[in-house]
Amino acid sequence: MSMTKIQKTLLVIIAIGVVGLATARVWLPRVGILYGLYSARREKWLDAVPIKREIPTPQEIPGSTELSYQGLTFRIPWGDVVSHTEGQTLTAGSQESSSSLVMASEVNLRDNMLAKTPEDFKTIEALYGKEATRSNYAVFKSVMHSTPAALSIFSSSRNSLPQLILVTLKRALVLNAGEGLYEFETPAIKGFQFGDAESRYISITFFDKDDKTYRLNIRGASPKYLDYILSSIENGR
């Protein structure tokens, strides 16, 4: 019995579906990489990587105020400060000026990936090695140094997918996109600065000696005062 035109069409559709399913492991990652590459390259700020900058040794500023947060102590160079802690967030502001500061604990990126997306973590670790993924700071640094330039539709999925994961995380984690991006280290902390003297506010993601992650948002601080705050952070426990 010969097949009708409709039956032949259905057979072709089924055949295409079977081939598509059989080769999905090949083309699906490629489609994801292509879309990720297209999206990432539209945002030029993703090409930026952190610039290293030195935090000078602090010199005491008269009238500064000492604060503490979750075992950390630090000083802010403002007088007449009002501060309060609500939940996991410390807020402090000067009544003499418009300067203010917010500090909060952040999700530990490596720990969170291991708990919620272990396959993504294993994919990144397989390409970049254990040294680049051994701590929350190391993973965050890998994310900040990732760029769309490392992505290619012609690269193997094994190489491209980890890079796409990192660039996607960078898009989510970078604040003040398109402004200054820096990395720094002091005897007590190391981290990344988003924004510079021209920014409306500056955001800092930093890590203490226990590899715990914090976010610090500062408004109305000159470069000198910003360095003073960062250099004064210590583990007070």
Domain that holds residue 175: 1-237
The count of other CB atoms within 10 Å of the CB of residue 130 is: 9
pLDDT of 16: 38
Q: Which residues pair with 170 in a beta bridge?
A: none
- Reading the block at residue 23, the tokens are 């080769």
- Reading the block at residue 207, the tokens are 């890590």
DSSP string, 124-165: HHHHH-SGGGSSHHHHHHHHHT--GGG--TTS-HHHHHHHHH
Q: What is the DSSP letter of 43?
A: -
CA distances from 120 to 29, 61, 115, 156 (A): 13, 46, 11, 16
Q: What is the DSSP letter of 169?
A: H
Q: What is the DSSP letter of 221?
A: -
DSSP string, 87-130: TTEEEEEESSSS-EEEEEE---HHHHHHHH-HHHHHHHHHHH-S
pLDDT of 177: 65
pTM of the model: 0.78
pLDDT of 162: 74
Average pLDDT for runs of 10 along the chain of length 237? 51 41 40 48 77 87 90 90 92 87 93 87 84 92 85 57 79 76 95 85 94 94 92 83
The answer to whether residues 219 and 99 touch, using CB atoms and an 8 Å cutoff, is: yes
CA dist., res. 237 & res. 235, Å (int): 6
pLDDT of 159: 62
pLDDT of 150: 67
pLDDT of 31: 44
> pLDDT digits over 109-140, tens only?
899 888 888 888 888 888 788 888 899 999 99
CA distances from 169 to 96, 130, 142, 165, 190 (A): 39, 19, 10, 6, 20
CA dist., res. 169 & res. 46, Å (int): 11
Q: Which helix (H) or strand (E) holds 29?
A: helix 24-41
Number of compact structural domains in the chain: 1
CA dist., res. 26 & res. 156, Å (int): 10
pLDDT of 146: 86
Q: What is the largest CA-CA distance in the chain?
A: 98
Q: Is the dihedral of CA 73, 78, 81, 84 positive or negative?
A: negative
